[in-house]
Amino acid sequence: MQNQNWRFFHRRPLSAILALTVFACVCAGLANAQAKNVGGLTVFNVANPEADVDFVNAKPMPLPSNTLPPDTTRAMIDALESKQQVGTSGGSSGAVGTGITSPEFLGTPAAANEVAPEDYGTSKYPFTTVRADLFTENTFKTYPYRAAGKLFFLIDKVSYICSASLIKPGIVVVAAHCVANYGQKQFYSGWQFVPGYRNGSAPYAKWTAKSATILTAYYNGTDNCAQYGVICPDDVALLVLNASKTGAYPGTTTGWFGYWYGGGFTSNGLFQITQLGYPAGLDNAAYMERNDSQGYTNSKLSKNTIIGSNMNGGSSGGPWVENFGLPSGLTGETNGSFPNQNVVVGVTSWGYTDPSVKQQGAAPFTSGNIGALVTAVCTANPGAC
């Protein structure tokens, strides 16, 4: 593993880092045998049967850490003073789903004391981070919350967690670093998506993955990252889920988010983001957390979107949603310039090494990453779309 990649594991003990390093070397051949490069994308077909994950003792995937000095105010001022170049835009809308549950209990997650929480921080960037549940209502069974969930997977037979969400009935969007080891031509394994996960409960069951697809530039380490393997333009991946015995996918009941690229921001590159995820520093990753913040595009950081946030390890891959929630009926009012409801425009990619900064970044959705990924996986798996 190259030295730059060690910052991925800054909160892991040395034994875990060494284990992952050995895994990258030993398993590279297996990963290459199952991976296929097609038109700038790399597809990993999951072996069957797949080894099961540990739902109780799964560790939070360390959030890739930006070790560069934090930009407290200048980047936002620059964004306000300049106009961003906008490329092709596009995407699709989501759906509510029936809401019918098929609950399982996976076990209460064990304590994860090794991850410190990242609350306005030294970046002076305002945000609100709270548990997604309301005082008298558990929102994990309510759309659009239930379209997001917890993702379990394996790295060298050790179970880890990320956050993820549905953008089609059987298609999950997540960060590429929850799927593969940047630049090492190595995929992880055993992905199981649990929509609406809440303290060991799987109200809509758990769903295994059929395949994982990322940009080949991320797979082979040529993604032109502002910081090697951390602040990248294409830290995004899609998982195709296996259908149930009846041929159904989870989105039929949970619904799914829409997704969008090349839009949802002002000409200055400003966003309004709702972020969902399962960070280990908040409620031990047992409950879905919600964060709301103004976002801006930082052209110096691979054009990543930056928000204020109190999330950390385990939140990787969680959706960044615009116009989140139930749309209002218009009475003597009009919609704004981007009324697309519940659309994912990015996923959690990285945070700062210093937890007091309290900012996170996300690779921008573009026609070249999310657009190409959706086209490819839906062409190959039309039933999941």
Confidence at 350, pLDDT banded by 50, 70, 90: very high
3-state class of 297 per DSSP?
strand
Residues in the chain: 385
Quickly count: other Cβ atoms within 10 Å of residue 213's Cβ: 28
Confidence at 30, pLDDT banded by 50, 70, 90: very low
How many domains in the chain? 1
40 and 217 Cβ atoms separated by less than 8 Å: yes
One-letter amino acid identity for 286? A
The CATH number that applies at residue 31 is: 2.40.10.120
- Which single residue is written with the structure tokens 């799927």? 179
Q: Residue-wise over 262-285: b if at least 16 C-beta within 10 A, else e?
A: bbbbbeebbbbbbbbbbbbbbebb
Confidence at 67, pLDDT banded by 50, 70, 90: confident
Structure tokens at 45: 């077909």
Range of the domain at 52: 3-329+336-384
**Percent of the chain clearing pLDDT 90 (strictly above):** 51
Cα→Cα distances 182→191, 361, 366, Å: 17, 17, 19
pLDDT tens across 317-349, in order? 999 999 999 888 888 888 887 888 999 999 999
171 and 190 Cβ atoms separated by less than 8 Å: no
Which of 105-119, 162-176, 193-207, 288-302 has the least mean pLDDT?
A: 105-119
Residue 118: what pLDDT? 40
237 and 214 Cβ atoms separated by less than 8 Å: yes
- Among candidate residues 381, 372, 374, 380, the one with its CA nearest the CA of residue 87: 372
pLDDT tens across 111-138, in order? 654 444 343 456 666 777 888 888 777 8
Element (H, E) at 147: none
Q: Residue-wise over 311-345: b if at least 16 C-beta within 10 A, else e?
A: bbbbbbbbbbbbbbeeeeeeeeeeeeebebbbbbb
Confidence at 96, pLDDT banded by 50, 70, 90: low
Better pLDDT: 65 or 209:
209
Better pLDDT: 203 or 352:
203
Whether residue 179 is predicted with pLDDT greater than 60 in this model: the reply is: yes
Burial class of residue 135 (count of CB atoms within 10 Å of its CB; 0-12, 13-18, 19+): exposed
Better pLDDT: 279 or 86:
279
287 and 371 Cβ atoms separated by less than 8 Å: no
Q: How many CA atoms lie less than 13 Å away from 367 in the CB half-sphere? A: 7
Q: What is the dihedral of CA 323, 258, 76, 115, to 10 degrees?
A: 100
Residue 367: what pLDDT? 95
Q: Residue-wise over 166-185: b if at least 16 C-beta within 10 A, else e?
A: bbbbbbbbbbbbbbbbbbbb
Whether residue 73 is predicted with pLDDT greater than 60 in this model: the reply is: no
Quickly count: other Cβ atoms within 10 Å of residue 66's Cβ: 25
153 and 159 Cβ atoms separated by less than 8 Å: yes
Confidence at 13, pLDDT banded by 50, 70, 90: very low
Residue 127: what pLDDT? 75
Q: What is the pTM of this model?
A: 0.80
Find all residues with CB under 8 Å of 18, minimum gap 6, and list them. none
- Among candidate residues 369, 336, 368, 353, the one with its CA nearest the CA of residue 270: 336
**Helices and strands (DSSP H and E) totals, the chain:** 6, 24
Which of 71-75, 107-111, 181-185, 364-368 has the least mean pLDDT?
A: 71-75
